[in-house]
Structure 1
């Protein structure tokens, strides 16, 4: 079982590793934390040009740049947390082999350090809402639920892959390819309504579908798509619990194979 009391006792280490992760990401960087805005903003501009302008992808009646950014905002957090947490054990192999601490602290610190980027990227959301004169609806009150689902999904998969990567280094090489595939398996550049009705009952099992469509609905004053959110929530809980227990099960061999 997972010892949550032990994790709490090591909260200072978790804080230190989170802070170290933030500093390492922007060390010797001229623009610093501005990259948390620049990267998703320029990606959105490219998506707007290619998918919104050339491919004429339906954006459900809203400006495509706003449509895609509200999806990239949570997606970038998911992909960044997934990548960093999956590599956290390998990158800290020296710590694992020299001193004891709850290994779960490593993927947790990766998740927490990416929250800064997520928060900074919210500035662009505010700017776009003001520019397009869009007032969020009452659905904004449900964004903590969406964020919790986002955290569980990204951390659950991240813990599973991090435990797997210690034993099988192929995971590290396949991770970039996996993230790219997952991007197009989520409604980032298109809307869920574009998916044929016969496939939607399987498509909504992807936790990121409910998260992305929920963010769009919350900030664009549209009805919350609970029929897309709750199936993904159940899957996110299952993924989180499975990833956590698999990580705990494999923890005893980390120091031997790291």
Structure 2
């Protein structure tokens, strides 16, 4: 960032927290889908469609600011919304707004997905050897 004459601000200190949130947001569904893939062999063909759908409903190519205010909280229940908006807030500084209620909802969705993913994986882990 310094190379492009864009020095980092104090917000960059929050970047490790958003990296951890991104890891948790990926780990929860990954554990769940891994267990489903072992149990149902054809599930592996559905995973690319789920990932592609997730790309289109996450604010990767657009800003969350384009979402109308009445839908913004519900949109923030997507776990990746908080992660991507957090990265933008950290790295872009004042150019990106931080919607706190949406971030809290997204963080709760990440924690819930991680909890369900770990719980489902642990419950089905004992039967993996029998299915393979």
Fold shared by both chains (TM-score > 0.5)? yes
Structure 1 counterpart of 2:3, from 130, 151, 154:
130
Aligned to 1:149: 21
List gaps (5 residues or longer) in structure 1.
1-125
User: Aligned partners of 1:235 and 1:178: how far apart in 2?
Assistant: 17
Q: Give CA-to-partner distance per residue, 1:193-252, whole Å, 9 cap, x none.
A: 111222211100111111111111111123644333221111111111110010000011
TM-score by length of 2: 0.90
Aligned to 1:44: none
User: Aligned partners of 1:170 and 1:200: how far apart in 2?
Assistant: 35
Does residue 251 in structure 1 map to residue 105 in structure 2?
no
Relative contact order: is structure 1 or structure 2 higher (C-alpha 8 Å, sep ≥ 6)? 2
User: Aligned partners of 1:134 and 1:230: how far apart in 2?
Assistant: 29
Aligned to 1:212: 84
Aligned to 1:28: none
Q: How many residues align?
A: 130
User: Aligned partners of 1:174 and 1:166: how far apart in 2?
Assistant: 13
List gaps (5 residues or longer) in structure 2.
none
Structure 1 counterpart of 2:42, from 170, 177, 180:
170
Aligned to 1:182: 54
Structure having the higher Rg: 1
User: Aligned partners of 1:205 and 1:255: how far apart in 2?
Assistant: 35
Q: Equivalences for 1:113-124 in 2 at 5 Å? A: none
